[in-house]
Chain A
């Protein structure tokens, strides 16, 4: 067996091996994060809490939807299905690797929700039962509906084409009138479900648009479908003119296919980005009058309650610290990279992570009054003010339709004067040939292709209109902590006392540090790869304090200054440093720094070479921001910025005419991301941040931004080409149709060829540079320290 980081992992690995689940290690492509041990599942025994998340299926069966944290690759899915499925009383388990959700059905008599959660956490996954409303999965229904409509349209179009081909071929040879009539009615038969069932979304969309007094793309499409179908039905009944059942069903099919692809890309990205529930813990430990603690739901907390927060726990609501002192990680809220020390009567913010504990907190503000909720509200406001870019496209489309309809009317009117018997046929021919098929396809085809090409590079586009904004942006605003720098700490500075050598001090410290999994300890251990000092005894880890050991007869302590020095005092500047000391006094002081992402310099240089002004906005101290800015060669930066300050800076930039691309990872970046023209969040960042972004970057590869921008620009160019081509085709074909020179078979061929041209052109997007497969990237961040589950 491979070396393990700790006993817990060894036990887990052996347990997995014993269950015969060793295949997990062969299949997995990314290491799993560690489960949150502090989470106890017994709270879900409480009937009140459980009622929200469990659905009664009758006959003793219960169903629940779990959002599983830490599903990195498909091997995890395999393990979860096996481990959970083997639990007694479990009837079925369905895990989706992409949406990170497990749907579990179990027998109430044999097992319970806490038992299931325990089984999962033994396997190594934290799970959060989702609200029972999530069970009625709107998205699943949407995707199933779209698939059915698409298939009906495909079959209908295929058949209609066959019957139409008979008519077209028969026109040249001899086809008796009865057979011809039969083919027309058959065309009507197969095209009717396509128009009445498959094309429903267009009609519904058009109705919605008209009610909202807008003219989107749905209105022209619905109008064209309805007009051509109605005309064809009329002709079939009259048995005189031409029918266009093949054209209309093919038109519906092509548009539905484009929409289906778009929807799948959208769902995939959305799946990754909705889990706001995890920002604050669902439970808190409230102190009762007799001094004992009871677990209550977060929503039951009131101002004035005293709650206990365990080490590594998340503060449930804003409150005042009642214990002597503690250190909290507020990185998610303030962007400060180092944990901050809070003393008695200081304010703790909901959502911050306690580094050492347990502590007592008196709750001051709950729910919507907390700082976290304030940031969420800021996000909402910024969303409302977001620029609507696709409006321009819709405007162009609706103008196009207005022209087509005018043209159709003009044709009918002109023919009514010249030769009334041909007026109807010519008008329909104009409508069919100019029906906004190629025009409507121009944007979705290019966009679908672009989204696919971007996803292969690890760039997930959540909102499709971000592609245009990305191509047009002029400024890039980066967050520092966790975006330009990695989330792991690294050793920045070693200072020895009494003239000792750095090497010797570091070696001693690393020997001790290897005993702890604390991020700081790991940074020290990583700075000195070995060999470790010999003759180590009495290694002890002191939770929240440090590590102690006896090496060569010296009693050494590594950790917080008060712990390492055992009460002796040192200059105040070392208070937040990590100290190594023996009984005689301090040996060395270690300071932690941030490590720049390996591709940060290259990414920023690439953006700058594209003519984009790169700026850094950080909540961190000016000195730290300055040093990072200098290393990545960025001139414009601001430090000590609160989320509101960042948003103000962004608004100022945009008021000056800049199109701003914002990149961030923390909660503190959420407002600025929501207000930017195009927002990019890192996939390993906070969920709220991802929810307010347009693009999610997988694997933290900043370099992908520049190549994504190239693809976005190419996409815009192709869209313009496509639109020009569609316009050219229409300009050439419409006059001929209006003059009555175009028979239906030529109209059908023209329509499909122009659509095909648009699609083939769109396929060129992203071909020049195939880009690395996203799959390979999953293996790369193996060394990354998993973020504390927020």
Chain B
């Protein structure tokens, strides 16, 4: 059962990491508009250089 002492902290670390990544994504506008980005792949023309933001 000693393997638990390694695996459980590991799983908790993964959990914390996943939450952190998700929070980052939410804070960086990734979930604000779920409708518009669906259209981008339909566009054939080469994409204009994104301005630095």
Contact = CB atoms under 8 A, between A and B. Distances in A.
Given A78-B39, A91-B53, A98-B35, A23 B44 contact: yes
Nearest to B51: A91
Interface string A65-103: 000000000110110001001100011101111100000
A159 interface: yes
Contacts of A610: none
B48 A85 contact: yes
A190 B16 CA distance: 10
Interface string A148-169: 1001100100010000000000
Interface string B15-51: 1001100110011010111011011101111001001
Given A155-B19, A176-B1, A186-B8, A97 B35 contact: yes
Contact of A23 (B32, B33, B43, B51): B43
Contacts of B53: 91-92, 105
Interface residues of A, number: 34
Nearest to B31: A147
A155 B19 CA distance: 8
A182 B8 CA distance: 10
B4 interface: yes
B39 A152 contact: no
Contact of B36 (A23, A92, A97, A179): A97
Contacts of B33: 94, 96-98
A266 to B, nearest CB: 16
A182 B4 CA distance: 10
Contact of B15 (A92, A94, A98, A159): A159
Contacts of A75: 39
B19 A94 contact: no
Contacts of A144: 26-27, 31-32
A92 B51 contact: yes
Interface string A469-487: 0000000000000000000
Given A23-B43, A23-B45, A75-B39, A148 B29 contact: no
A91 B51 CA distance: 6
A716 to B, nearest CB: 30
Contacts of A190: 12, 15
A155 B39 contact: no
Contacts of B11: 159
Contacts of B4: 179, 182
A140 interface: yes
A221 B35 CA distance: 33
Contact of B26 (A23, A86, A96, A148): A148
B26 A147 contact: yes
Given A95-B36, A97-B36, A182-B4, A85 B51 contact: yes
Contacts of B1: 176, 179
Contact of A82 (B19, B32, B48): B48
Nearest to A105: B53
B45 A155 contact: no
A151 B27 CA distance: 14
Contacts of B27: 144
Contacts of B19: 151-152, 155
A94 B48 contact: no
A657 interface: no
Interface string A570-597: 0000000000000000000000000000
Interface in A514-567: none
A74 B36 CA distance: 6
A227 B51 CA distance: 53
Contacts of A85: 48, 51
Given A152-B19, A189-B12, 13 more contacts: A23-B43, A77-B36, A78-B39, A85-B48, A91-B51, A91-B53, A94-B29, A95-B36, A96-B36, A97-B33, A97-B36, A155-B18, A182-B8
Interface of A: 20, 23, 27, 74-75, 77-78, 82, 85-86, 90-92, 94-98, 105, 140, 143-144, 147-148, 151-152, 155, 159, 176, 179, 182, 186, 189-190
Which 8 A-B pairs have CB atoms at the shortest separation, nearest pair first? A92-B53, A74-B39, A96-B33, A97-B36, A144-B26, A97-B35, A77-B36, A151-B22
18 contacts: A23-B43, A27-B39, A27-B43, A74-B38, A85-B48, A86-B48, A90-B51, A91-B52, A96-B35, A97-B36, A143-B32, A147-B26, A159-B12, A179-B4, A182-B4, A186-B8, A189-B12, A190-B15
